[in-house]
Amino acid sequence: MVNQVTYNHRKEVNGDDGRPTFLEAYFAGCQVLVTEEDFYDLSMDYFSRCAKMNVRYCEPFFDTQAHTERGISVPTILNGYLRAQKDGLEKYGVKSNWIFCFLRDRPLQEGLDAYTAARPWATLAGGDGKGLFHAVGLAANEFEKPPLLFEEGFRMAKEDGLHITMHCDVDQKDAADHVREAIFDVCGGQGTERIDHGLNALDKPELIPALKGRSIGLTLCPHAYHRRQKTEILFPKITRLIREGIMLCINSDDPTYMHNVWIDGNMQKVYTYCDLSKKEMVQLCKNGVKMSWADNQTKTDLIQELDRVDVT
């Protein structure tokens, strides 16, 4: 028997009706990760599923704070992930570069300490570091936690030569303002390189030319929004972003907590409900390659393979 769990996505808005939020369920699930082998096995299961969906390259998000607070050491976590990064490529042909996240509902200093501890596993400027992660981002509840709260962490990462992505959840309080802040204010006004989600950019029309002018892409996860928005409301928004020429790609959002809907299911939803052509679907895949932080050879190989897809 499969238990059907529903979430109260916004306790801050909806009130507490006894159901867990998605994040409460997620962090509760983290409790089973204890040993290096646990983190390795989790990652290898993920790469196995990627291979079955014909995914060749991915950029998984992770954090350490949810584990170190339970007494799990940073080497236990990151050595497990690092071994899986190598073995996932060798066994399944899935190349990965990872993204370290600051937990935005925790104190800034805790996040800075977490980054400092994880730094030896990064891909640092000059070729130093163990090469597990090459970017930083944000995770956890962003209610009244705007991006600039972690500006110091972003600056540290940029000085180390890492990329910056910015989580701007959909329909959260001040969501469009978070997008604006990500574009114009973080990293000393240079802006983020990508925005995760960011659908509420449509709430402020001036943000659309700003995204285009600064070449900031959006990583959309349609199923995550479809759980809370009607089909006839959500997918015209995504279609509009595509027609406006915004660089966006389709992703999965914690799929095991999202009704087991992975990247293939998210792509299928966009294909069906946005009424896209096969050529447009291939272009979304190309966008994902262009927006990624893969090495140039990996990008070239993937684009050439996509060019061979029959879209007639």
C-alpha–C-alpha distance, residues 51 and 202, integer Å: 34
Q: What would you measure as the largest C-alpha separation in the chain, in angstroms?
A: 55
Classify residue 151: in a domain, yes or no.
yes
Classify residue 195: in a domain, yes or no.
yes
pLDDT of residue 8: 65
Query: pTM of the full predicted structure?
Result: 0.94
pLDDT of residue 9: 64
Q: Report the domain count for the chain.
A: 1
3-class secondary-structure state, position 62: strand
Classify residue 303: in a domain, yes or no.
no
C-alpha–C-alpha distance, residues 118 and 120, integer Å: 6
C-alpha–C-alpha distance, residues 136 and 100, integer Å: 5
pLDDT in tens, 6-39: 666 666 766 777 777 767 777 777 788 999 999 9
Considering only CA atoms, give the Rg of the chain: 19
- CATH number, domain with residue 96: 3.20.20.140
C-alpha–C-alpha distance, residues 16 and 116, integer Å: 36
Q: What parts of the chain have a pLDDT lower than 70? A: 1-11, 13-14, 22
Where b means 16+ CB within 10 Å and e means fewer, 24-34 reads: eebbeeeeebe
Classify residue 233: in a domain, yes or no.
yes
Classify residue 124: in a domain, yes or no.
yes
pLDDT of residue 31: 83
Share of the chain above pLDDT 70, in %: 95
- CA dihedral in degrees (172, 176, 180, 185; nearest 10)? -30
Sequential DSSP letters for 276-307: --HHHHHHHHHHHHHHS---HHHHHHHHHHHH
Strand partners, 137: 101
**What is the three-state SS of 220-246?**
ECHHHHHCCCCHHHHHHHHHHHHHCCC
Q: 199: which DSSP letter?
A: G
Classify residue 6: in a domain, yes or no.
no
Classify residue 302: in a domain, yes or no.
no
C-alpha–C-alpha distance, residues 207 and 184, integer Å: 10
> What beta strand segments (E) does the chain contain?
57-58, 61-62, 95-96, 98-103, 133-139, 163-168, 194-197, 217-220, 248-250
Contact 304, 70 (CB under 8 A): no
Give the domain range for residue 147. Answer: 21-292
Classify residue 9: in a domain, yes or no.
no
- Distance between the two ends of the chain, CA-based, in angstroms? 43
